[in-house]
Amino acid sequence: MNKVYLDKNGKLFVNGHEIKGVMSISSETDYLGTQIVLKFEGDYKCDFISSRKGHSLSERPKE
């Protein structure tokens, strides 16, 4: 789980690393949990690859 922190000066930190160029921050909560949505200024590339497979609600794995 990632730790997201917004300090009193408006600086954003994710897992202890300052994230620059953020234009806005919002959160959405549903029965699956909370998602933090970040909007960035400029062009960014991400090399992160998730090991988790996304599922639509109809394909959600049985628990």
pLDDT digit string (tens) for 41-56? 766 666 666 676 665 5
Number of structural domains (the chain) is 1
Q: Are 32 and 58 in contact (CB under 8 A)?
A: no
In-domain check, residue 54:
no
Domain assignment present for residue 23? The answer is: yes
Q: How far is CA 43 from the centre of its chain?
A: 17
Query: For residue 3, what pLDDT is reported?
Result: 80
**pTM exceeds 0.75 for this model:** no
**Enclosing domain of residue 9:** 4-47
R_g of the chain computed on alpha carbons? 15
8: its two tokens: 């009193």
* Cβ atoms within 10 Å of 36's Cβ, excluding its own: 13
Distance CA 36, CA 2 (A): 10
